[in-house]
Structure formats: C-alpha cells, structure tokens
Amino acid sequence: MIQIKNLSFYYKKKSPLFSDFSLQLESGCIVGLLGKNGAGKSTLLSLITGLIQPQSGEIDVNGFRPFSRNPNFLSDIYMVPEEFSFPHVSISTYVKAFGPLYPAFDHKKLQGIFEEFELSPASNLNKLSHGQRKKFLIAFALSTNCKVLVLDEPTNGLDIPSKSQFRKILVSSVTDEQMVLISTHQVKDIDTIIDKVVVIDNGVIIYQENTNEITQKLYFDTVSSFTDSDQVLYSERCPFGYRVVKQANGETESNIDIELLFNAIIHKTI
C-alpha cells in the first residue's frame, strides 16, 4: 500500500512541483499514472521509491518511509526506469548477481517470461536491442515478486507483439498482494490492463478513478456526427467522424478509451 500525505517537493532553484499532495493506493491493482510532460510523474515515482527526499509531508510504502532505504523495503520494491543501463554481462550472470538479493525471486517465472519474450539467458545484455533489454528488465522485475512494481514508460521501445505480450504477462503474474504503478505517455498500451487511473498535472491530482467506475459513469464511442442532445462531454475528430465521451446511460458499457479520457480530463470537460 502507498500512502502519501501532504507531500511537498521542489527541485533546487525551481518552483514547487508538489505542495500538499496526497494520494492513497491499495495493493492488488495496476495503477496507470498519467500526465503531460513535466507534470511530475517521474518525480513522484522517484519519491515513492526513495530515490529523492521530500521537503515535507509523509510517504508510506508498505509501512516504510522510502528515503530511509531500509533493506526490507528495498527488497519489496522494484523500479523499471525509463532509461537504464546494464553492466557488460550476460543475462544469466545478471540474474545470478541480482536475483538472490530479492527473497521472493522466482526463477521458474523468469524462465517462463523469457520464453514468452524469446530471450536467451546466454545473451550479453549490452548486445541486445533497446527493446530486448527492456523486455529483460520487465521480466526480471516481475520475477522479483516485489510487493510494489514501479514501471516508468514500460512499453517505450517495445515492438507491437511485445506490447501485447507485456500486457498478457503483467496481468497474469500480478497477485493480490502486489501493486503495479505504471507511468506512461503511451496510454493505449495499457488501457486494457489498468484497474485505476490517476492523472496528475502540475503536481496536483486532477483525476483519480477505478476503471470499473469510469465505465459506469462514462461511455466512449465513435460517431459520424453528434448534436447537443447527445450530451457529449468531450469529442475529437477522427477519420470516421468523432471519438466522443458521453455520460453513461446505465444500460450499456463501453471499453475505456484512455487517450480520449486523458484529453477530456486535461481539457477539463470531465
């Protein structure tokens, strides 16, 4: 569980990014953290993982204060950063070196994900493509079985089949004790797997809702045209007419179009 209370954070010589920021996230769900560039997503992930220290406020992750970097906290949180680098070793050496540091590391699970992602343990990490290295890192992260997985732009650099494999693997491997926090711009890549949407803008949460509640409240559709009587909350032109967000009528549900939802939130129509 992640609990943030009255958090304030600013980088040196810059205006405050977060002031009096609060957020609570429960285990057993996949959370999509969305926001524009510079909204504070990556900073929030760094605060949650204890890479940076807030100026004031409280952060509690699984009962630990992240910046204390208690080893028991670190063994239960894994972050896949947007940019990463590896030592000049093979996949198997990397796993041998880092795997034992995570008490719940599952080698069988790793092997299974390797097969899905077509990764060979004998490959040298730095000879793999960016996408393959990312796949390895995701596979490793999932195999640690950490209670909190923080994924910053996990689908960046993945090819189309890998993106669907990623979704499939993620959904199948996350347990009720785990929480996955995904920060991404590529909202379409995660729209079918997230349980909760959190949108932040300028260090403020502007939207927070579970996906099942979203589908009960909102209806996403593509129409050739619409009128005022259709009660469209937000629309965007598309090749076949308009992608629209409407109030749900309570009878039919639609799939969430996260990109449309995000744009609607940013344009303050929801």
Partner 1 sequence: MESTRFFSLSRFILLMRNDFLLNYKKYLFTIAGAFILGYIILLTQMPTRDTAPDFIERQYVPLFIICMFGLGAFIGMSFPAFNSKTDTITYLLMPSSTFEKFASQFLIRIVAGTILFFMVFWIDAHLAKATALFVLRKFEHTPQIASFEFAIIFRSIYMNNNILMMFGTIFMFVSTGVYIFSVRIFFNKMPVVKIVISIVSLVFITAMFMILLSHIFYPETMGMQLSIPEYIVIENHSNTEIWLCSLFYCSWLFFLPLGYFKFKEKQL
Binding site for partner 1 (CB under 8 A): 46, 49-53, 69-72, 74-75, 77-79, 81, 83-85, 87-89, 93-94, 96-98, 100-102
Distance CA 52, CA 170 (A): 27
- Phi, psi of 87, deg, nearest 5: -70, 165
Q: Are 39 and 222 in contact (CB under 8 A)?
A: no
- Cα–Cα distances in angstroms (integers) from residue 71 to residues 102, 140, 161, 168, 191, in the given order: 10, 19, 36, 31, 33
- For partner 1, give the closer residue by CB, 100 or 250: 100
Nearer to partner 1, 19 or 70 (CB): 70
Q: Which is nearer to partner 1, 98 or 213 (CB)?
A: 98
Smallest distance, partner 1 to C-beta of residue 149, A: 12
Minimum distance of partner 1 from residue 120's CB (angstroms): 19
Nearer to partner 1, 49 or 178 (CB): 49
Please state the closest distance from residue 124 (CB atom) to partner 1, in A: 12
Nearer to partner 1, 85 or 224 (CB): 85
Radius of gyration of the chain from its Cα atoms, rounded to whole angstroms:
20
Shorter beta-carbon distance to partner 1: residue 69 or 188: 69
Q: How far is the CB of 49 from partner 1 (least distance, A)?
A: 6
Minimal distance, residue 231 CB to partner 1, in Å: 46
**Minimum gap (Å) between residue 41 Cβ and partner 1:** 15
Length of the chain: 270
